Amino acid sequence: MSTATAIENKSPASAGRFEPRIAAFVCNWCTYTGADLAGTSRVQMMPNVRMVRLPCTGRIDTAFIIKAFERGADGVIVSGCHPGDCHYSEGNYHARRRFAMFKELMNFMGIDERRVTFSWVSASEGRKWGDVVDETIERVRALGPFDDYKTLLEETP
């Protein structure tokens, strides 16, 4: 199965409503734990997010986001500890610079920046995680599938 078909087959356009596929890159100590708390507290949210756990936002390379789009993500969430709360003291500060530059680059390249949510969600913010997830899904749903990126390969002249 070619990559293109694989992506197509996985695009959930069921029941009339577009179901975006969202990749989430989160740090282990704050957001992943906050998402655990959301579960423990039974905070209900939409099921479109697939999560990749990293130790720290400092570990999150912008190549991950690009690769997620290549793999058919319609949106991406990048989330970690609030400034000052990083388990590794400074990882999120370095990440913040990297993400700021990447956000501007995406925008410049014409990738709708609303497709990527950057957030700080602490270990005690289970509810905020639910909000971030639902808001991102609704926003990306309104933007529609990220066909621009998904069809790049086919569109190569």
- The Cα–Cα gap between 95 and 145 comes to 27
Q: Is 137 in the site for other proteins (CB under 8 A)?
A: no
Alpha-carbon distances of 27 from 72, 73, 123, 150, rounded to whole Å: 22, 19, 10, 27
Under rule CB under 8 A, which residues in 22-51 are in contact with other proteins?
A: 23, 29-30, 32-33, 35-40, 42-47, 50-51
Q: Which is nearer to other proteins, 18 or 55 (CB)?
A: 55
Which of 11, 18, 62, 127 contacts other proteins by CB under 8 A?
62
Q: 78 with 60: CB under 8 angstroms?
A: yes
Which of 21, 74, 75, 140 is in the footprint of other proteins by CB under 8 A? 21
Residues 79-118 that bind other proteins (CB under 8 A): 81, 83-91, 93-113, 117-118
DSSP state of 1: -
Our CB check for other proteins shows the closer of 13 and 124 to be 124
**In what helix (H) or strand (E) does residue 25 lie, and over which residues does it extend?**
strand 22-27
Do residues 133 and 45 lie in contact, with contact meaning Cβ atoms separated by under 8 Å? yes
Residue 5 CB, nearest distance to other proteins (Å)? 15
